[in-house]
């Protein structure tokens, strides 16, 4: 990755993960469809490595600042992290996070494999108090779906001083807004499905770590777990990553505008978006993040049924789960039984995409209007 030194992330997203230049060499790494490889090399077999994965890994690694492994989905990557924990390990984790990660932690706990200490991740004192004896701190910030911000620098510093492992799910913030490895985290996880790939057409996950021993153990977990990415999917994700900084810039600007307008709307009870000066996490986010992301959530003065109707009424914003694509998506989070009961029944999570902001706003206004007659 030497040729990457000193380059801006906007450039790295475009220049990294390319084949070595040579006359008539392709600019893009091909989709390498081969289950096995000629003997004698470092890879050897299609479950151990693939040249298309490597290109994507170089590109994500350049942005996160550490060697990277890609997996078949975000949850496969997260599962590989938890698979390294010895039986009986204590995990300290946010009580509000991606529902799949929460469900996975609960299932490991119920199977008697780990003990989980759930904390309010934005409450720094509470989380610091839970650290002694913790093997792994699992952090997600901003949180899903309430956009709370954890004081990552303070938590990571204290966790490392106590020798706790630290993993950060950086899906919402992306490496453009925060780089947990630089703060001292051991592992950064991504649902590449979201912003990095960015087109809602591929599922993929990644783990980045600067610790070579840990990298080897995670790579082994991938080999043995078999949750490997398809070469075509890796190629799609890398193609998407080339425009990630451009997409993210537009989506964040749209999100800021929509958050401000929602906050002034009479049907909206509250808006969660750390970019708003009135948001309780605004100052903390500003202190270490380079941007506020493009996911926001808001609560309506409405019943859950009316809230569902708002989501169904939109024409530009699509009614679907997930986030991070070029298209705006929204949903009432509590329509999922796995969503935390601490989340309001009338909360809509909106992943703001790259459409023209006035088209988005008219659509949102019309959808809100649809239940007010
Ligand atoms: C979507 C998501 C995941 C899971 O990723 P998949 O690619 O769907 O497996 C994990 N963490 C966060 C924060 C997510 O948004």
For residue 291, what is the domain's CATH number? 3.90.1150.10
Domain count, the chain: 2
Residue ID of nearest Cα to ligand 1 atom 12: 98
Q: Is the CB of 144 under 6 A from ligand 1?
A: yes
Concatenated DSSP letters of 307-358: HHHHHHH-SSSEE-S---SSS-EEEEGGGSTTS-TTS-TTEEEEE--SS-HH
Cis peptide before 142 (omega within 30 of 0): yes
19 and 130, same domain (yes or no): yes
Could you say which of 215, 241, 267 is where a domain stops?
Answer: 241
Q: Is 319 a catalytic residue?
A: no
CB 296 within 8 A of CB 272: yes
Could you say which of 241, 274, 307 is where a domain stops?
Answer: 241
Give the pLDDT of residue 1.
47
Catalytic residue, from 10, 18, 47, 223: name it: 47
Query: How do 89-94 and 187-191 pair as beta strands?
Result: unpaired
| Index of the ligand 1 atom closest to the CA of residue 203 | 7
> Nearest CA to 196 among 7, 325, 349, 330?
325
137 and 274, same domain (yes or no): no
Distance CA(250)–CA(256), nearest Å, equals: 10
Encoded tokens for 368 = 């809100």
> Nearest CA to 276 among 263, 295, 290?
263
192 and 257, same domain (yes or no): no
200 and 321, same domain (yes or no): no
Residue from 60, 70, 72, 74 whose mutation best tests the ligand 1 pocket (most atoms within 8 A of CB): 74
Residue ranges of alpha helices (H) inside the chain are 9-15, 51-64, 74-83, 99-110, 124-130, 152-161, 174-177, 180-183, 212-225, 231-241, 244-263, 282-288, 304-313, 357-369
| Index of the ligand 1 atom closest to the CA of residue 78 | 10
CB 32 within 8 A of CB 52: yes
209 and 259, same domain (yes or no): no
Residue whose entry in the numeric block shows the structure tokens 């990571």 = 156
Which domain CATH number covers 34?
A: 3.40.640.10
| Index of the ligand 1 atom closest to the CA of residue 323 | 15
Encoded tokens for 100 = 């799949």
Distance CA(30)–CA(12), nearest Å, equals: 19
Give the pLDDT of residue 3.
61
236 and 273, same domain (yes or no): no
CB 162 within 8 A of CB 154: no
Query: How do 205-208 and 68-71 pair as beta strands?
Result: antiparallel
Give the pLDDT of residue 341.
87
Q: Is the CB of 98 under 6 A from ligand 1?
A: yes
236 and 198, same domain (yes or no): yes
299 and 209, same domain (yes or no): no
| Index of the ligand 1 atom closest to the CA of residue 144 | 13
Q: Which domain holds residue 87?
A: 2-241
Could you say which of 216, 241, 266 is where a domain stops?
Answer: 241
Give the pLDDT of residue 366.
98
Give the pLDDT of residue 96.
84
CB 55 within 8 A of CB 18: yes
Give the pLDDT of residue 338.
83
Residue whose entry in the numeric block shows the structure tokens 């959808």 = 367
Give the pLDDT of residue 256.
98
Q: Is 47 a catalytic residue?
A: yes
Q: Is the CB of 94 under 6 A from ligand 1?
A: no
CA 24 to ligand 1 centroid distance, Å: 38
In this prediction the pTM is: 0.97
90 and 165, same domain (yes or no): yes
CA 78 to ligand 1 centroid distance, Å: 9
Q: Is the CB of 96 under 6 A from ligand 1?
A: no
> Nearest CA to 334 among 349, 324, 350, 314?
349
Residue ID of nearest Cα to ligand 1 atom 7: 74
CB 58 within 8 A of CB 17: yes
Ordered per-residue pLDDT tens for the chain, 373 residues: 456 778 999 999 999 999 999 999 999 999 999 999 999 999 999 999 999 999 999 999 999 999 999 999 999 999 999 999 999 999 999 988 898 999 999 999 999 999 999 999 999 999 999 999 999 999 999 999 999 999 999 999 999 999 999 999 999 999 999 999 999 999 999 999 999 999 999 999 999 999 999 999 999 999 999 999 999 999 999 999 999 999 999 999 999 999 999 999 999 999 999 999 999 999 999 999 999 999 999 999 999 999 999 999 999 999 999 999 999 999 999 999 888 888 999 999 999 999 999 999 999 999 999 998 6
Q: What share of the chain is helix, strand, coil (3-state, %, to 5)?
A: 40, 15, 45
Residue ID of nearest Cα to ligand 1 atom 5: 74
């Amino acid at each position: 990755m030497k040729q990457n030194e000193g380059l801006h992330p906007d450039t790295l997203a475009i220049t990294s993960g390319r084949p070595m230049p040579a006359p008539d060499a392709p600019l893009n790494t091909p989709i390498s469809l081969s289950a096995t490889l000629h003997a004698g090399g470092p890879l050897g077999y299609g479950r151990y490595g693939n040249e298309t994965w490597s290109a994507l890994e170089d590109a994500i690694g350049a942005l996160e600042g550490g060697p990277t492994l890609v997996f078949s989905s975000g949850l496969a990557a997260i599962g590989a992290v938890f698979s390294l924990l010895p039986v009986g390990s204590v995990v300290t984790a946010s009580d509000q996070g991606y529902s799949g990660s929460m469900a996975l932690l609960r299932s490991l706990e119920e199977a008697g494999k780990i003990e989980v200490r759930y904390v309010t991740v934005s409450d720094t004192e509470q989380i610091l108090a839970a650290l002694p004896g913790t093997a792994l701190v699992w952090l997600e910030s901003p949180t899903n779906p309430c956009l709370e911000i954890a004081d990552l620098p303070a938590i990571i510093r204290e966790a490392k001083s106590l020798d706790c492992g630290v993993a950060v799910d950086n899906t919402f913030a992306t490496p453009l807004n925060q780089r947990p490895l630089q703060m001292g985290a051991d592992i950064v996880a991504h649902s590449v499905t979201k912003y990095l790939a960015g087109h809602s057409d591929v599922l993929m996950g990644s783990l980045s770590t600067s610790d070579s021993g840990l990298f080897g153990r995670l790579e082994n977990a991938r080999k043995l777990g078999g949750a490997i990415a398809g070469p075509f999917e890796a190629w799609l994700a890398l193609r998407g990553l080339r425009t990630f900084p451009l997409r993210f810039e537009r989506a964040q600007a749209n999100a800021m505008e929509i958050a401000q307008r929602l906050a002034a709307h009479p049907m909206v009870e509250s808006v969660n978006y750390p970019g708003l000066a009135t948001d309780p996490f605004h100052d903390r986010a500003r202190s270490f993040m380079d941007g506020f992301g493009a996911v926001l959530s808001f609560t309506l003065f409405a019943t859950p049924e009316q809230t569902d109707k708002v989501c169904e009424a939109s024409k530009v914003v699509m009614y679907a789960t997930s986030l991070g694509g070029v298209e705006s998506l929204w949903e009432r989070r509590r329509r999922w039984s796995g969503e935390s009961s601490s989340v309001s029944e009338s909360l809509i999570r909106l992943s703001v995409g790259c459409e023209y902001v006035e088209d988005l706003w008219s659509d949102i206004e019309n959808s809100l209007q649809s239940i007010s007659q």
